Amino acid sequence: MTKLFTTLFATVLISSCGDNNNTNKTSTSTSDSTSTMKISLTDKKAFQDTIDGKMTDLYILKNTNGITAAITNYGGRLVSLFVPDKNGKFTDVVVGFGSVQDYIKSTEAYFGATIGRFGNRIAKGKFSLDGKQYTLFTNNGPNTLHGGKKGFGDVVWDATQPNDSTLELRYISKDMEEGFPGNLDVKVTYTITNNNEFKCDYLATTDKKTVVNLTNHAFYNLNGEGSGTINNHILQINADFYTPVDSTLIPLGKNEAVQSTPFDFTKPTAIGARVNDSANQQLKYGKGYDHNFVLNDKTAAMKQAATISGDQSGIQMTVFTQEPGLQFYGGNFMQSKNTFKGGSKDDFRTAFCLETQHFPDSPNQPGFPSTVLEPGQTYKTSTFYRFTVIK
């Protein structure tokens, strides 16, 4: 496996004064409160490949405060995200790989990926629209997960970078691709804002009635890659209810109160405080947390979904979304089989995901918010992750 940040062909530096005229420079510097430092990003050449006849690359986004993201158009994957910690040191809070080939070879398919057509699980790989049943590829036991055998995280997106802080990705998913009806025209815009946010804007239209549920599947460790467990991160989720699941992680169709359960994160709580509660059947099913939370403030246009902070770094990430749900995954299926860009392994529970979404299996659950998109309608939703520090 490639060790990144050690031997690089291209080093990208960014300036805290926001020099937007230096986009062609291969190196720059960014300053924190105490010193000038270099932020080394992944080797760009390792992301320049040809897959399915299309070129892949690595794109660098930055804001005027020095926050930097690296995104590849292979799967629309967030590869790196550098933010300052409590001491002003820039830390890469996203775990991932150092090349396109490492992503392809990974035993975990979803690191950093843009997920679609349908994020999360669809029971038994089947759903019906207007009386017609559609059959999908089952890639997660008896169920379909994150779009099927070849979801949006495995395709090459058409990429346009209109400015230093923005990347636009477009993909047209053909009618019946992975079993889903309709030609779906998707546009995803990723932005690093000057409010220190990683912003995700999703748009889609279709020519046939279909179902859509898009999200980003970045794996985070707010202490940085190789820093160990995320169980000491402090998490708060603004949800009074969650959706319990069966043994295959398909929702039972009802919402249950989190109060007096290990799923109560309504107050800041260490992730690992109750994760090993052997008496809780839901934790047994998920081998820990891998559940959808029903977000409060259902009428809010943009709701604060969650806040999480790194116990070592003091980096705090707050999630805002227009989506009704949030999937909290605690890295329970990480098995030390892959080597990240910095050289560490993907060890058990060393990264987490907070995926904004409509609920799992919504096409088969009439009581859940609808994921149906019809011709003439536009699927439009936004999520952003804001980064601050706790001293």
Tokens 């010193």 locate to 35
pLDDT of 37 over the 80 cut: no
The tokens of 318 are what?
Answer: 């707050």
Mean pLDDT across the stretch 351-366? 98
Mean pLDDT across the stretch 339-352? 96
The tokens of 339 are what?
Answer: 């080597």
* CA pair distance 33, 335, nearest whole angstrom: 38
Residue 41: band (very low, low, confident or very high) from pLDDT cuts 50, 70, 90: low
Residue 303: band (very low, low, confident or very high) from pLDDT cuts 50, 70, 90: very high
* CA pair distance 25, 267, nearest whole angstrom: 45
The pTM is what?
0.91
- The answer to whether residues 135 and 151 touch, using CB atoms and an 8 Å cutoff, is no
Give Cα separations from 215 to 19, 180, 188, 281 (angstroms). 31, 17, 10, 27
Mean pLDDT across the stretch 114-142? 98
* Cis upstream peptide for 274 (omega within 30°): no
Q: For residue 286, what are the contacts with CB-CB under 8 A and spacing of at least 6?
A: 245, 249, 332
Residue 43: band (very low, low, confident or very high) from pLDDT cuts 50, 70, 90: confident
User: Which residues are known to be catalytic?
Assistant: 217, 355
Mean pLDDT across the stretch 62-80? 97
Q: For residue 68, what are the contacts with CB-CB under 8 A and spacing of at least 6?
A: 12, 14, 30, 39, 41, 60, 61, 62, 80, 81, 82, 90, 192
CA 297 from chain centre, in angstroms, equals 22
Average pLDDT, the chain: 91
Q: Which H/E stretch holds residue 161? A: strand 158-163
Q: For residue 132, what are the contacts with CB-CB under 8 A and spacing of at least 6?
A: none
Mean pLDDT across the stretch 42-51? 89
Residue 282: band (very low, low, confident or very high) from pLDDT cuts 50, 70, 90: very high
Q: For residue 326, what are the contacts with CB-CB under 8 A and spacing of at least 6?
A: 237, 239, 292, 293, 295, 305, 306, 319, 354, 355, 356, 357
Residue 300: band (very low, low, confident or very high) from pLDDT cuts 50, 70, 90: confident
Q: What is the pLDDT of residue 154?
A: 98
- The answer to whether residues 90 and 83 touch, using CB atoms and an 8 Å cutoff, is yes
pLDDT of 24 over the 70 cut: no
pLDDT of 391 over the 90 cut: no
Mean pLDDT across the stretch 159-186? 98
- The answer to whether residues 89 and 76 touch, using CB atoms and an 8 Å cutoff, is no
Give Cα separations from 276 to 23, 195, 251, 270, 288 (angstroms). 48, 37, 21, 12, 7
Mean pLDDT across the stretch 360-365? 98
* CA pair distance 256, 357, nearest whole angstrom: 18
Residue 42: band (very low, low, confident or very high) from pLDDT cuts 50, 70, 90: low
Phi, psi of 309 (to 5 degrees): -130, 145
In 3D, which of 34, 120, 5, 167 has the Cα closest to residue 360? 120
Answer left, alpha or beta for residue 77, where phi above 0 means left and psi between -120 and 50 means alpha. Answer: beta
Residue 199: band (very low, low, confident or very high) from pLDDT cuts 50, 70, 90: very high
The tokens of 208 are what?
Answer: 């046939």
pLDDT of 129 over the 90 cut: yes
